[in-house]
Amino acid sequence: MNLANVPVTEVKGVGEESAKQLAALGVTSIAHLLAYFPFRYEDYERKSVTEARHDARVTMEGVIQDTPSIRYYGRKKNRLTFRMLTEDVLISVTLFNRAFLKSKLTIGSAVTVTGKWDQHRLALTASELQLGLSQRDEEMSSVYYGAGKLTSKVLHKWMVNALTQFGEHIVEPLPFTLREKYRLIDKRKTIELLHVPESPEAVRQARRRYVYEEFLLFQLKMHVAKARQRQAEEGASLTIVPTATDKFLHSLSFTLTEGQQQALKDVFADLRAPYRMNRLLQGDVGSGKTVVAAACMFAVANTGNQSALMVPTEILAEQHSASLQTWFAPFGLEVVLLVGSLTAKRRRAALAKIESGEAAIVVGTHALIQETVSFHSLRFVVIDEQHRFGVAQRRLLREKGVHADMLFMTATPIPRTLAITAFGDMDVSVLAELPAGRKPIDTYWLQPDLLPRVLGFMEKALRQGEQAYVICPLIEESEQLDVQNAMDLHTQLVQHFAPNFEVGLMHGRLAAFEKEEVMDAFVKNEVQILVSTTVVEVGVNVPNATVMVIYDADRFGLSQLHQLRGRVGRGEAKSTCVLLAAPKTEVGKERMRMMTETNDGFELAEKDLAIRGPGDFFGAKQSGLPDFKLADVTHDYRTLEVARQDAAEIVSTGALYEDEAYKELLNLLTEEGVFTETKLD
Ligand code: ADP
Ligand code: MG
């Protein structure tokens, strides 16, 4: 019997009318009904004063010690208070608007009360009271979201009926090996415990089992879809030998980190393989993603094909194309820059080289995806700061190539949890370590009125020949005000530091050539202080800069602050980041503290995610997360990782299709249409 096909009306007590109400909750079959879980549990397990946690909801029992007193206030409101002896601690119990109970609450009688516990005052504000001890036979009960006549109690009764009538037909989808490996209780028991909880621990076990199953199914879908996509796109592969990049790598002044080497291997395997690569290269700011991309482009160029690197800003495009030119000039590979601000003449020349194939590597902004741009043989596409581009833009660039392999790079560390879920159909390479010799950045959080001391500190660094960034206050949704702020701050700092040090100004309203001039002056140390709105957030590399001061730091997200901080700490000298902020909320203060406590972008991203939730992290639409019934990607991410590994293995070994133990999982996936859906992306 497939419970998905049995209507709810088969459950004792559910008539046509009730069925309609259930349908409004999305429940039409018994399978639906049994998956309509309580949103919380009442815990009636009796607690002693020593066990009870402050502010928690608890149940206590004891003996009444005095005659309850009643106070009337407002219209028809009253408060009843009495003292009660629990074990040997005297506590005070308060009930609101239950004056009518007074006659029943006599000295010496036993009562059981449930409510909110105040550990400091040894007081309980009760919402429930029962005369006598140990009245309840169950220690927990389930609470459902009801609707209209469908109360939580009614729903619970139907659950119990459904379990009694149909429990034996609950199918176990997980093979025994997996259940044994993780000590998971069976499916039927899981569902029973979720509706009829025996103890908090039993519910925890049931939840753990259910969450694993949800994640495993989700990951299986991802992996099956990916495998199908690969089959569909068979045909494109490049011949790249492992030594293809040796010459380039030897020409660098440093050796690659282990992470960089592994990422290269990953990408080469994808380039060689007969499927389209779809890989995310994640690495903290300064972890050296660009070199990895460069080595890949070098290898592709040597197969006679073109690569394109798309970045979000012109400054970044110029900086990347300059470093690539320096790296590749000795090998006779031509790097061409394509940005919106090129003169008509330079633009024509660039387009011609792109079309003829003379340009082995093309670096640019959105200008790359315009219709007039046509490549000779684009086979490899790198997108830097990938989250700044929409899906459509990424696709446009891809479609300028022939079976072009895609490498997405991001320096906004995406929490593992989201990388796995939102990008579950992407492969991921991670640069976990920074290149050797990098010194951690000291971060301080100061109140804004300590600015004079910050300026003093800056001056010391400047006297040692170092440079500083000052990031301006951010005023949401008003670029005009941001610019005004930047100009004011610039004037202020010019006055303070004249005539010893030069102060530059950078903001979004400057023309490209002006930005270039300012940046250039900062790179050459003709300007020692760069005042900027957040336009420096991405990419720029000035190793001599050692001080980063951020105004109104509490207005930025943790990941963004981390990005900004990553502009310093790139050279030999010790670097410092100063956050000026006076956050008003506890969460705001906590975020500033986090910044001072860790230099690990991934850790910060995880924390950011925990604070903001996955929807906010990418914007609700983009998060790409399915609706899980019980699972929570933030809190259950360990389980998610485990499920992901299991799913990968089950699909890649073919066990899903061949092994009898996976029959039920395969059925579930088939029912959900995983094998008939046509297109991802
Ligand atoms: P990302 O783009 O990941 O923020 P970059 O690629 O801009 O980082 O690298 C930051 C700096 O570190 C660059 O100057 C780069 O040349 C240098 N770099 C990259 N890899 C290494 C390495 N393995 N050892 C030393 N320096 C490196
Ligand atoms: Mg970069």
The full set of domain ranges for the chain reads 3-40+144-199, 45-131, 246-431, 442-598
What is the whole-number distance in angstroms between the Cα of residue 315 and the centre of ligand 1? 17
In terms of DSSP bridges, do strands 467-471 and 545-550 run parallel, antiparallel, or are they unpaired? Answer: parallel
pLDDT at position 610 is 72
Nearest to 219 by CA among 652, 570, 516, 647: 647
User: Which residue lies with its CA nearest to atom 14 of ligand 1?
Assistant: 541
Collect all residues with Cβ–Cβ distance below 8 Å to 427 and sequence separation of at least 6.
266, 270, 277, 278, 279, 280
Equal CATH topology for 246-431 and 442-598: yes
Q: What angle do CA 417, 665, 178 make, to 5 degrees?
A: 70
d(CA 620, CA 610): 15
CA-283 nearest atom, ligand 1: 3
Question: From residue 639, how far is each of 178, 353, 553, 605, 665 by CA, in Å?
Answer: 13, 51, 34, 19, 18
pTM of the shown model:
0.64
Lookup: tokens for 493: 């700092």
pLDDT at position 420 is 59
Lookup: tokens for 249: 């790598």
Collect all residues with Cβ–Cβ distance below 8 Å to 417 and sequence separation of at least 6.
606, 609, 614, 633, 634, 637, 640
Residues of the chain with pLDDT under 50: 538, 618-623, 678-681
pLDDT at position 236 is 62
Ligand nearest to the Cα of 252, by number: 1
pLDDT at position 474 is 66
Model confidence pLDDT, tens digit, residues 338-372: 998 899 999 999 999 999 999 999 999 999 998 89
CATH architecture of 246-431: 3-Layer(aba) Sandwich (3.40)
Ligand nearest to the Cα of 384, by number: 2
Ligand 1 close to Cβ of residue 291 (< 6 A): yes
Do the beta carbons of residue 123 and residue 93 sit within 8 Å? Answer: yes
Lookup: tokens for 452: 């004079």
Ligand 1 close to Cβ of residue 569 (< 6 A): no
What is the whole-number distance in angstroms between the Cα of residue 290 and the centre of ligand 2? 6
Collect all residues with Cβ–Cβ distance below 8 Å to 472 and sequence separation of at least 6.
482, 485, 486, 489, 507, 531, 532, 533, 551
Ligand 1 close to Cβ of residue 538 (< 6 A): no
d(CA 385, CA 382): 10
Lookup: tokens for 410: 């991001």
pLDDT at position 620 is 36
Task: Choose which residue among 261, 541, 565 to substitute to test ligand 1 binding: the one with the highest number of ligand atoms within 8 A of its C-beta.
Answer: 541
3-state secondary structure 165-221: HHHHHCCCCCCHHHHHHCCCCCHHHHHHHHHCCCCHHHHHHHHHHHHHHHHHHHHHH
What is the whole-number distance in angstroms between the Cα of residue 282 and the centre of ligand 2? 10
User: Which residue lies with its CA nearest to atom 18 of ligand 1?
Assistant: 288
d(CA 258, CA 623): 31
Residue type at 447? Q
Model confidence pLDDT, tens digit, residues 506-539: 887 888 778 878 888 998 999 999 998 876 554 5
Ligand 1 close to Cβ of residue 289 (< 6 A): yes
What is the whole-number distance in angstroms between the Cα of residue 409 and the centre of ligand 2? 8
Collect all residues with Cβ–Cβ distance below 8 Å to 646 and sequence separation of at least 6.
178, 216, 219
For domain 45-131, the question of CATH label 3.40.605.10 is answered with: no
Ligand 1 close to Cβ of residue 411 (< 6 A): yes
CATH of domain 442-598: 3.40.50.300
pLDDT at position 40 is 86
Task: Choose which residue among 260, 291, 328, 565 to substitute to test ligand 1 binding: the one with the highest number of ligand atoms within 8 A of its C-beta.
Answer: 291
Task: Choose which residue among 251, 256, 290, 542 to substitute to test ligand 1 binding: the one with the highest number of ligand atoms within 8 A of its C-beta.
Answer: 290
pLDDT at position 71 is 92
